[in-house]
Amino acid sequence: MHDTLFSVEGKVAIVTGALGQLGAQFANELLRRGAKVAVFNRTLRQQLIEQLYAQEDREQGNVTFHQVDITNKVSIQRAVQSVTDTWGIPDVLVNNAGIDTQPSAPPEVSGPFEQFPEEVFRDVVDVNLTGTFLMMQAVGALMAEAGRGSIINIGSIYGMLSPVQDIYAYKKEKTGVPFIKPVAYSAAKSGLYNLTRYCATYWAKKGVRVNILTPSGVFRSTQDTEFQNNYCERMPIGRMARPEEYNGAIVFLASDASLYMTGANLVIDGGWTAW
């Protein structure tokens, strides 16, 4: 007998930030398992699309690409309408889009808390928190009308705990200019946890589940070796995550396997938050 417990076949999913590392991983795993996927991204670069998404999926119309500014309600509504016109009301929304300050950032946006620019703080919160709120408003309302749906927000260990600034100390030793992991990302990601709980209880009787997935640092070849070494020294498992190690979580949360789960935080962080 074919087991459909973890099936997402035929489901319609929207994944924001799906031309990035984790977003593309999420979207492709859903595609691989038979879902229809709408990629929402601030910019659409054809070369990147061809690099990240199989020609077969693109030609067969299993995946569509939408240039969306998730901080703009009109932009969201236009894209969501396009999805519903093509495939109907989405079954799954993965709120993955976000911006963060990397160690390569200039000192004016990575300096001490006391001098951190207000406009940068607002920009990060606007994308990471307000953008998720607007996406949930637009898609969650449709799901509630349909009486079904799964919303998966993507959190961060830095939304649960403060950043370990010592990990970034090598930047001063290397360049003479310190890097301080800024407050904006942590503040914005932290807000996602109660936004998740609020909407989980708000839509619970409408058949809409809202959960949050908390990943830890994911390996990228562009990361400084010193950063990777410092990070891994503090990680109980002793290494950074690989993108594909979150496939199971996305499938679980998108499928009926998590049908009785809402308002929950699924932490997959290599043990980081267990210290």
Residues with a catalytic annotation lie at: 185
Residue written as token pair 């370990």: 164
Alpha helices in 106-224 (DSSP H): 118-125, 131-146, 157-160, 170-175, 183-202
How many CA atoms lie within 13 Å of 215's alpha carbon, on the beta-carbon side? 22
Q: Are 14 and 90 in contact (CB under 8 A)?
A: yes
Alpha-carbon distances, residue 20 vs 35, 49, 85, 89, 167 (angstroms): 19, 10, 26, 24, 24
C-alpha 192/C-alpha 187 separation (Å) is 9
C-alpha 31/C-alpha 35 separation (Å) is 5
How many CA atoms lie within 13 Å of 124's alpha carbon, on the beta-carbon side? 22
* DSSP letter assigned to residue 228: H
Residues whose CB falls within 8 Å of the CB of residue 86, separated by 6 or more in sequence, listed in order: 64
C-alpha 36/C-alpha 14 separation (Å) is 9
How many CA atoms lie within 13 Å of 84's alpha carbon, on the beta-carbon side? 15
Please, which residues bridge with residue 65 across strands?
A: 39
| Conformation bin of residue 221: beta by default, left when phi > 0, alpha when psi is -120 to 50 | alpha
C-alpha 196/C-alpha 152 separation (Å) is 9
